[in-house]
Structure 1
Amino acid sequence: MDSERPPIAAAIIVEAQRVLLVRRRIAEGTLSWQFPAGALNPGETPAAAAVRETWEETGLTVKASTVIGERTHPATGRQMHYIACEFIVGTATVADPDELDAIAWCDQVELQPASRPAYSSR
């Protein structure tokens, strides 16, 4: 595990049977599309970080509901926390254009490996 860098919290947001993904302006390893996520601030819980990162990246207000799981990321060595979040209000937009270049609500078919997320907004 990478103890030099803080853990990452990822928000898993499902609304109307679609999951929210963001596309990073600069791919992280082989990932470009991923869940809204970011590093925990000192003293911050993974749930709070997932809610904050979602707001900062997408402009959506969400509420953390369940810890889905944790792992050491196999490519980065960083501790990952996956948090299910309930959609509260907002329209998904690229709220941090320095970090993101696109957002998509994807259904299960769009998430197949050979597919690319279709662009849509809430």
Structure 2
Amino acid sequence: MGKPRLPLAEYVAGLPKAAVYGALFFTDTEDRPLQLRSSVKQGLWQFPGGDMDPGETPFGTAVRECREETGIVFTGRPRLLAVDFDAPGPWPVAKTGFVFDGGRLGRDALSRIVLDPGEHDAWEVRPMDDWARTMDSRSWRRLAAVNRARRTGTTVYLENVPDPAC
């Protein structure tokens, strides 16, 4: 005989907790990725995006956060490039991200970017080799995988789970 079923509230209370984020991946017309430098986490470069609010979807979150962080109003359809899972570590709960294709931005669109200084203090487009020299290894692996997913049309799944031996 199977385990007795818990009341719904009790079952839900026992589920693992997780945060969800949505982000958009843009390149310029030469396929150089756009990233924003965090004004909060020193030296961290990231895609426009952020944590999901109650009642939002991951894609809705990506579009809202992009608008808030850059002024870019994305009107395209959702095209998922990556699902990015981080196990609890420095952050107290698991975090799952959905990175969507934002397309290519021309010089004019890039020149209209307006950053929220409370979150980011710079934006740049660079060739992949330049990003590789600038970013921490986790962020670089995510950027390289997302860029590859865009080029190949194949969605990627990323997983960052701490080594229990460490």
TM-score (norm 2): 0.57
1:60 match: 72
2:129 pairs with 1:109: yes
1:33-52 to structure 2, matched below 5 A, reads 33-52=45-64
Seen in structure 2, the aligned counterparts of structure 1 residues 69 and 15 have a Cα distance that, compared at 3 Å, is same
Answer whether contact 1:9 1:82 (CA < 8 A) is retained: yes
What is the CA–CA distance in structure 2 between the aligned matches of 1:80 and 1:41, rounded to whole Å? 13
Number of aligned residue pairs: give it: 111
Q: Does the aligned pair in 1 maintain the 2:22–2:99 contact within 8 Å?
A: yes
1: CA distance, partners of 2:85 / 2:58 = 14
Using the TM superposition, give the Cα deviation of residue 64 of structure 1 relative to its aligned residue in structure 2, in angstroms.
4.3
Does the CA contact (< 8 Å) of 1:15 and 1:87 recur in 2?
yes
Establish whether residue 19 from structure 1 lines up as the match of residue 33 from structure 2. Answer: yes
CA distance in 2 between partners of 1:11 and 1:83 (Å) = 5
3-state secondary structure, aligned to 1:83: strand
1:12 Cα deviation from its structure 2 partner:
0.7
1:92 and 2:104 aligned: no
Answer 1 or 2: which has greater strand percent. 1
State the SS of the aligned residue for 1:44.
Answer: coil
The answer to whether the 8 Å contact 1:18/1:106 transfers is: yes
1:70 corresponds to which letter in structure 2?
V
Deviation at 1:15, TM superposition (A): 2.5
TM-score where L is the length of structure 1: 0.75
Aligned to 1:119: none
Q: State the one-letter code of the partner of 1:71.
A: D
Tell me how large the CA RMSD over aligned residues is: 2.6
As a proportion of its length, which structure holds more helix? 2
Kept after mapping to 2: 8 A contact 1:13/1:19: yes
Query: Over alpha carbons, which structure has the higher Rg?
Result: 2
Q: Residue in 2 aligned with 1:70? A: 83
Q: Structure 2: how far apart are the matches of 1:53 and 1:86?
A: 16
C-alpha distance after superposition, 1:32-78 (max 9, x if no partner): 11111101122211111111111110111223441112132255431
The 1:41–1:100 alpha-carbon spacing in structure 2 relative to 1, beyond 3 Å, is: same
